[in-house]
């Protein structure tokens, strides 16, 4: 390692350790709460079906980041009946309809850890998606449809079903997500299935995510599922949940995650969680997939393995290594889009290059702005997905394929289970490549408006055929970026 690079990486590491984040994100300032660090969530949810009415108890292990007399959690549309702090009843209120404000009987000094047990109930409802603030058909959180339930929360929907510190840097383990449902239903959540217990007219499913997870990745699915159980090549459980309405081609596509995991492991290092799986939502209103940690969620129509590769890549990029701020979401979506293109082209570097160059031509034609975005409406835009993936491709062309994947692996090892930002990515790339000019290249891709030239790039062969068509990528389907220009099928689905 170069001495210069070593010094900057060290400095970045220290800065990270000192700040340890837990700041409310500027994109969604009404979510997240100062002064607390949640270490673990234990959720015990009893869900009546088909109403999906919830009776629940959440136990949060919290560390005080400052002296606390009162603190707040995000919770919306559910009624709290009791709060215990280290076993002692606390005063609380829900006067702010999206916050639970708690005043412990005795003040908690900075640095102390304590347990908050919150009993609550109600019929959860989704909330407005603030990335599309002017369209009430875009919602987040807990949904019910046709006698089934699913919870999808990116970026800020967690408060619809559990009291949370809903900001991206307060990662926590979820060592128990227990879901009790009427017999005949299956309940799916993140991570490992620990137990299934028949209790007369009900069944209790206990799940566990022992690696840190951001609040928006927590998921719950309740439906009449079929399951296929297998294992990764390293022996970790793989579970694929489908319904009677799920096309066989979708299920066949999920099964490819076994070989995808093995392939991605050779490139970027070990799969970061104890298990993987996928679960279908057969509500036709859902038009996107989500990388819910350890158990990706798919809409109907996931027969294209690109979408399976995309959500799987997120387990490393976005889930294990999470963004420190929503503005930097390209660190998740750019990598996921890169691997989505790489997987089907893995046996042909020429085909991969051609696909990336088509994407480049599209970026130039569309004059896509920098990968780092400055407003919440742009976090799911082409800038994040396409320009983010192209920034990585430009880096690969500059440093070579072997060094590029060394950077990706080092990024994973350095920030596993934590949060990181664009500056830290640039430092890692400079450090691993030993090439200080990589910093300029990445800064141009990430922060500056004009689409930079590709290193060593002549115009692509496809260019001679005229304007570049929109590539068929997960991030470009159904208006992920341009909701308003969404194809009719997506607009109709979203309005349901």
* Interface contacts to ligand ARG, rule CB under 6 A: 129, 131, 154, 288-291, 310-311, 333, 380, 474, 480
The Cα–Cα gap between 97 and 471 comes to 42
C-alpha dist (Å) from residue 471 to 224, 254, 264, 332, 393: 35, 22, 23, 19, 16
Q: Which secondary-structure segment (H or E) carries 345?
A: none
Residue 154 interacts with which of ligand ARG, Zn ion, none, CB < 5 to 8 Å by class: ligand ARG
The CA-to-CA distance between both ends of the chain, in Å, stands at 55
Nearer to Zn ion by Cβ, of 208 and 293: the residue is 293
Residue 383 interacts with which of Zn ion, ligand ARG, none, CB < 5 to 8 Å by class: none
Nearer to ligand ARG by Cβ, of 28 and 288: the residue is 288
Three-class secondary structure of residue 62 per DSSP = strand
* Shortest separation between residue 157's beta carbon and ligand ARG, angstroms: 8
Record the tokens describing residue 134, joined without a space: 């002017």
Closest CA to 69 of 28, 35, 119: 35
Please identify the residue of the shown chain whose CB is closest to the bound Zn ion. Answer: 336
Residue 288 interacts with which of ligand ARG, Zn ion, none, CB < 5 to 8 Å by class: ligand ARG
The Cα–Cα gap between 296 and 239 comes to 10
Nearer to ligand ARG by Cβ, of 186 and 422: the residue is 422
Report CA 79 to chain centroid distance, whole Å.
Answer: 27
Residue 167 interacts with which of ligand ARG, Zn ion, none, CB < 5 to 8 Å by class: none
Question: Radius of gyration over alpha carbons of the chain, in Å?
Answer: 22
* Shortest separation between residue 439's beta carbon and ligand ARG, angstroms: 27
Nearer to Zn ion by Cβ, of 302 and 336: the residue is 336
Peptide bond into 50 cis (omega under 30): yes
Residue 99 interacts with which of Zn ion, ligand ARG, none, CB < 5 to 8 Å by class: none
* Shortest separation between residue 296's beta carbon and Zn ion, angstroms: 10
- Give percent helix, percent strand, percent coil of the chain, each to the nearest 5: 35, 30, 40
DSSP 459: P
Residue 290 interacts with which of Zn ion, ligand ARG, none, CB < 5 to 8 Å by class: ligand ARG
C-alpha dist (Å) from residue 221 to 41, 45, 150, 454: 18, 12, 4, 43
Nearer to ligand ARG by Cβ, of 297 and 403: the residue is 297
Residue 187 interacts with which of Zn ion, ligand ARG, none, CB < 5 to 8 Å by class: none
Nearer to Zn ion by Cβ, of 336 and 394: the residue is 336
* Shortest separation between residue 131's beta carbon and ligand ARG, angstroms: 6
* Shortest separation between residue 310's beta carbon and Zn ion, angstroms: 5
C-alpha dist (Å) from residue 184 to 46, 150, 223, 364, 445: 15, 17, 9, 53, 51
C-alpha dist (Å) from residue 11 to 7, 15, 423, 457: 6, 6, 12, 34
Nearer to ligand ARG by Cβ, of 422 and 460: the residue is 422
Nearer to ligand ARG by Cβ, of 42 and 74: the residue is 74
* Shortest separation between residue 53's beta carbon and Zn ion, angstroms: 32
Residue 239 interacts with which of Zn ion, ligand ARG, none, CB < 5 to 8 Å by class: none
Cβ-contact 182, 49 below 8 angstroms: yes
Closest CA to 146 of 78, 224, 204, 203: 224
Nearer to ligand ARG by Cβ, of 166 and 333: the residue is 333
Nearer to Zn ion by Cβ, of 336 and 432: the residue is 336
Q: Residue numbers of the site for Zn ion (CB under 5 A)?
A: 333, 336
* Shortest separation between residue 311's beta carbon and ligand ARG, angstroms: 6
Nearer to Zn ion by Cβ, of 75 and 336: the residue is 336
The Cα–Cα gap between 169 and 32 comes to 9
* Shortest separation between residue 354's beta carbon and Zn ion, angstroms: 23
DSSP 275: -
Nearer to ligand ARG by Cβ, of 164 and 180: the residue is 164
* Shortest separation between residue 154's beta carbon and ligand ARG, angstroms: 5
* Shortest separation between residue 85's beta carbon and ligand ARG, angstroms: 34
Residue 358 interacts with which of Zn ion, ligand ARG, none, CB < 5 to 8 Å by class: none
Residue 225 interacts with which of ligand ARG, Zn ion, none, CB < 5 to 8 Å by class: none
The Cα–Cα gap between 387 and 371 comes to 5
* Shortest separation between residue 291's beta carbon and ligand ARG, angstroms: 6
* Shortest separation between residue 99's beta carbon and Zn ion, angstroms: 29
The Cα–Cα gap between 443 and 448 comes to 7
Residue 37 interacts with which of ligand ARG, Zn ion, none, CB < 5 to 8 Å by class: none
Cβ-contact 426, 332 below 8 angstroms: no
The Cα–Cα gap between 456 and 429 comes to 19
Instruction: List Cβ neighbours of 437 (8 Å cut-off, separation of 6 or more).
Output: 398
Residue 129 interacts with which of ligand ARG, Zn ion, none, CB < 5 to 8 Å by class: ligand ARG
Cβ-contact 322, 372 below 8 angstroms: no
């Amino acid at each position: 390692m170069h001495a210069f690079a070593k010094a900057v990486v060290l400095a970045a590491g220290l800065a990270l350790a000192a700040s340890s984040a837990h700041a409310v994100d500027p994109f969604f300032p009404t979510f997240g709460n100062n002064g607390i660090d949640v270490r673990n969530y234990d959720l015990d949810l009893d869900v009546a079906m088909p109403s999906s009415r919830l009776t629940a108890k959440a136990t949060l292990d919290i560390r005080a980041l400052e002296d606390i007399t009162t603190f707040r959690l995000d919770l919306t549309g559910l009624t709290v009946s009791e709060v215990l702090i280290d076993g002692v009843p606390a005063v609380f209120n829900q006067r702010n309809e999206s916050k639970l404000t708690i005043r412990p009987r005795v003040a908690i000094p900075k640095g102390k850890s304590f347990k908050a047990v919150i009993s609550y109930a109600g019929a959860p409802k989704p909330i407005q998606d603030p990335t599309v603030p002017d369209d009430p058909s875009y919602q987040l959180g807990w949904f019910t449809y046709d006698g089934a339930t699913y919870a999808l929360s990116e970026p800020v929907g967690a408060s619809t079903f559990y009291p949370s510190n809903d900001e991206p840097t307060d990662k926590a383990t979820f060592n128990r997500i227990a879901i009790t449902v009427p017999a005949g239903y299956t309940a799916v959540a993140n991570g490992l299935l620990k137990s299934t217990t028949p209790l007369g007219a009900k069944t209790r499913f206990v799940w566990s995510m022992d690696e840190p997870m951001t609040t928006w990745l927590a998921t719950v699915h309740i439906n009449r599922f079929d399951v296929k159980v297998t294992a990764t090549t390293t022996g970790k459980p793989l579970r694929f949940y489908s319904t009677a309405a799920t096309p066989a081609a979708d299920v066949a596509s999920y099964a490819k995650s076994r070989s995808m995991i093995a392939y991605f492991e050779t490139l970027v290092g070990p799969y970061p969680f104890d298990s993987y799986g996928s679960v279908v939502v057969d509500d036709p209103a859902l038009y996107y997939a989500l990388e819910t940690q350890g158990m990706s969620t798919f809409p109907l129509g996931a027969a294209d393995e690109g979408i399976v590769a995309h959500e799987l890549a997120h387990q490393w990029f976005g889930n294990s290594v999470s963004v420190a701020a929503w503005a930097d979401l390209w660190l998740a979506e750019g990598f996921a889009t890169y691997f989505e293109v790489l997987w089907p082209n893995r046996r042909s570097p020429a085909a991969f290059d051609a696909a990336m160059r088509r994407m480049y031509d599209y970026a130039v034609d569309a004059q896509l702005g920098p990968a780092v975005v400055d407003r919440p409406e742009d976090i799911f835009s082409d800038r994040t997905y396409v320009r983010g993936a192209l920034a990585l491709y430009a880096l690969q062309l500059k440093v070579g394929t072997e060094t590029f994947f060394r950077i990706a692996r080092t990024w994973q090892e350095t920030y596993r289970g934590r949060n990181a930002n664009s500056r830290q990515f640039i430092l890692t790339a400079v450090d691993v490549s030993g090439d200080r000019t990589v910093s300029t290249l990445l800064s141009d891709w990430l922060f500056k408006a004009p689409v930079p030239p590709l290193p060593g790039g002549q115009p692509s062969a496809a260019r001679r055929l005229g304007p570049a068509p929109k590539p068929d990528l997960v991030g470009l389907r159904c208006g992920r970026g341009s909701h308003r220009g969404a194809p009719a099928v997506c607009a109709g689905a979203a309005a349901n």
